[in-house]
Every structure is written in C-alpha cells, then in structure tokens.
C-alpha cells in the first residue's frame, strides 16, 4: 500500500484540505488528539507566519526560539517556505480562517470523525516504516523514488499517483467527474450539507473567512440533481395517481 498517498487523500477527503495544503505539513504538526487517543490532531500552520516547532533551539542558550516558520526554514534548513519556492517543489497557499491567530494555524476537522482514527493508524505506519528520520527537512511527506528519495514530495507527483489510482478502480480522472484531488474537498462539504450541518460550521471546517466562499463547494453535482428530480418526479406521480384513484372511488 502507498501509505503516504493514502494519508494525503484522507486529509483531502476526511479533513477537507485543499490539494496543496498537506505539502506544507511538518512531522511535528501531527499529534494524538487529547479528546480521543485513537484519533489524530493535525495543525495546518501558515507556511511563513506560523509558529516554528519546538526543535528550533538556540544552540548556545539551549532555549526554544520564538520564531516563525520562514525564519526556522531559512536558519535551520537553508530552505524557503514552499509557497515561496518556484518550480516543482512549489505548493500553493490561500488565506485561511485560522483557529489560533497567535500561533497561526488552522485545525483539521475530521468528518465523519472516524477519518481522524484512520489517519492516525496510517501515520504511525508511515513514520516508523516509510519516512526516514534522516531527511534534511521537516516536511511530513517525502518522495520515495530512488533518485530523489527523502526530498519533499511534490504536488505534481501526487496528482499523477491520484489519477492512476482513480483509473485502477475503473473511474475516469477529471474535474467534471469529481475524481481529481480537489474533488475530495467538494465531497467533504457536500457530505456535511447532506448531513444537515449548519452553514457556519461548514464555513469553519473549510477554513473560509467569508460565508459566500463555501457556496461553490455545496453546489450539487449533475448526478445529484438528476437523482433528486427523479425522486421528486416519482413522489409527484404517486401523489397524482392517489388523487385520481380517490376521485374514481377506488
């Protein structure tokens, strides 16, 4: 099994993240949820302004430094945040509604909640069996190709792997079919809508600052429209049939 790509897919489908957002995660951004020891707590930090992890330590004073992630990457790893890097290692970033404005992170909200347990189970395997501790960077997801093993995993590589996986299960990759990586975010919002979750909760789960931003994610697919109209037509036919039969005294 490709544990890495499964983890990313769970973040998109069960956590509603945008396609590029998992590629900003550090290993230290995943923890055990104190409310449920079987579930993962994932913090999505701003790639530049987010609080640096606890291993950003002053080598002389041996104290944790109070810096941001841009500084942390530059000083400790001689790297830039991935939203600033041109080329294949680039990962986009949109302005999010943050859960913690001081540390600059947004919590991943699992829906349904069992996705948090699935993620943690896969994460434990990934950390112990797949990701080397000797990577020269803090990013969670790494390449496993022989010539670039250990380098940060790229968005393009995941897109290609996702398309191959879609084909393996007999579907066609494409935006119109909801089978691209971004389709998972739409499915996440649609599922909450179908479950009757309030709009303001969906807005918070999607990390949208403006209420109108979530509307596009809640628009029903063509198949869902056809299914709803078919069901409504059947109900109408039954109602009309009942009225006719009653009028005939039958």
Q: What is the pLDDT of residues 226-242, one digit of tens each?
A: 676 677 667 767 776 67
Beta bridge partner(s), residue 130 = none
Q: What is the pLDDT of residues 77-104, one digit of tens each?
A: 999 999 999 999 999 999 999 999 999 9
Q: Which of 57, 55, 82 is nearest to 142 (CA)?
A: 82
Q: Please, which pLDDT band fits residue 46 given cuts at 50, 70 and 90?
A: very high
pLDDT at position 68: 97
Measure the CA–CA gap between 24 and 29, rounded to whole angstroms.
10
Measure the CA–CA gap between 150 and 101, rounded to whole angstroms.
32
* 3 state DSSP class of 85: coil
pLDDT at position 217: 64
Delimit the domains of the chain by residue range.
3-217, 221-247
Copy the structure tokens of residue 238.
Answer: 């039954």
Q: Does the pLDDT value for residue 250 go beyond 70?
A: no
Q: Give the architecture (CATH level 2) of 3-217.
A: Orthogonal Bundle (1.10)
pLDDT at position 243: 67
pLDDT at position 183: 95
Q: Which of 154, 145, 170, 157 is nearest to 82 (CA)?
A: 154
pLDDT at position 125: 97
Please report, rounded to a whole number, the percentage of residues in the chain having pLDDT higher than 90. Answer: 77
* 3 state DSSP class of 93: coil
Taking CA atoms, 22 is separated from 139, 144, 243, in Å, by 10, 17, 56
Mean pLDDT value across residues 50-61: 93
Q: Please state, as a whole number, how many other Cβ atoms lie within 10 Å of the Cβ of residue 16.
A: 26
Q: Please, which pLDDT band fits residue 16 given cuts at 50, 70 and 90?
A: very high
- Start-to-end Cα distance in the chain: 61
Measure the CA–CA gap between 131 and 138, rounded to whole angstroms.
11
Measure the CA–CA gap between 107 and 85, rounded to whole angstroms.
24
């Amino acid at each position: 099994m490709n544990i890495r790509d499964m983890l990313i897919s769970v973040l998109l489908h069960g956590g509603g993240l945008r396609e590029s957002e998992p590629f900003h995660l550090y290993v230290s951004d995943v923890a055990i949820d104190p409310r449920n020891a079987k579930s993962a707590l994932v913090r999505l930090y701003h790639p530049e302004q987010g609080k640096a992890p606890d291993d950003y330590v002053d080598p002389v004073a041996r104290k944790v430094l109070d810096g941001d992630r841009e500084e942390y990457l530059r000083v400790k790893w001689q790297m830039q945040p991935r939203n600033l890097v041109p080329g294949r290692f680039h990962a986009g970033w949109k302005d999010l509604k943050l859960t913690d404005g001081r540390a600059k992170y947004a919590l991943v909200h699992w829906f349904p909640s069992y996705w948090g347990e699935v993620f943690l189970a896969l994460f434990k395997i990934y950390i112990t069996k797949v990701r080397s501790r000797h990577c020269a960077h803090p990013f969670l997801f790494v390449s496993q190709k022989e010539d670039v093993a250990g380098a940060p995993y790229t968005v393009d590589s995941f897109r290609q792997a996702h398309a191959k996986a879609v084909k393996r299960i007999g579907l066609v990759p494409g935006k119109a079919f909801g089978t691209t990586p971004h389709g998972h975010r739409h499915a996440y919002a649609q599922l909450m809508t179908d479950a009757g979750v309030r709009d303001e909760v969906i807005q918070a789960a999607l990390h949208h600052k403006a209420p109108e931003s979530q509307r596009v994610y809640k628009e029903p697919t063509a198949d869902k429209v056809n299914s709803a109209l078919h069901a409504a037509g059947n109900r109408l036919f039954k109602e009309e049939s009942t009225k006719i039969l009653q009028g005939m005294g039958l």
